[in-house]
Amino acid sequence: MNKFQKNLSRTGDTIIKDRAESISKLAEMSQDSLVKNLQKQRIELEMKQQELLDMSPDNRYDLKPGKDFKGDAWVQDYQEVSLQLIENEVALGVAKETMKELFTDTSK
């Protein structure tokens, strides 16, 4: 029997199991991708926060740290990044819990 004939003669349970495996793999990969994207976003936000705190002179000959500093704008930017970090932590926690809940092998 060739591959085409085998596919045509599969039983309903075999077809359902194969489809379930494919869907599960795709969903798990998508969830894992979400976790990794949120982790990357967190690192980028932390770097942005560090950049906001870096008010050192641009070069060693410049003695004016924080040149053209605008306090209100700086506070607003720092606040926004801080809130984004908190939102990211919550989203990342939910994504990791979802990964654990749905894709941990319970058959062992």
The domain ranges of the chain are: 3-103
What are the tokens at 90?
A: 């919550």
* 78 Cβ contact list (under 8 Å, min separation 6): 49, 52
Are 107 and 46 spatial neighbours (Cβ–Cβ below 8 Å)? Answer: no
Q: What is the mean pLDDT of the chain?
A: 90
pTM: 0.79
Residue 48 burial (CB < 10 Å; 0-12/13-18/19+)? middle
Q: pLDDT grade, residue 37 (50/70/90)? A: very high
Largest CA distance in the chain: 82
Phi, psi angle pair for 96, to nearest 5°: -70, -40
* 32 Cβ contact list (under 8 Å, min separation 6): 99
pLDDT in tens, 89-98: 999 999 999 9
What are the tokens at 66?
A: 């924080």
Q: pLDDT grade, residue 35 (50/70/90)? A: very high
Check whether 44 has a pLDDT greater than 70: yes
Are 31 and 99 spatial neighbours (Cβ–Cβ below 8 Å)? Answer: yes
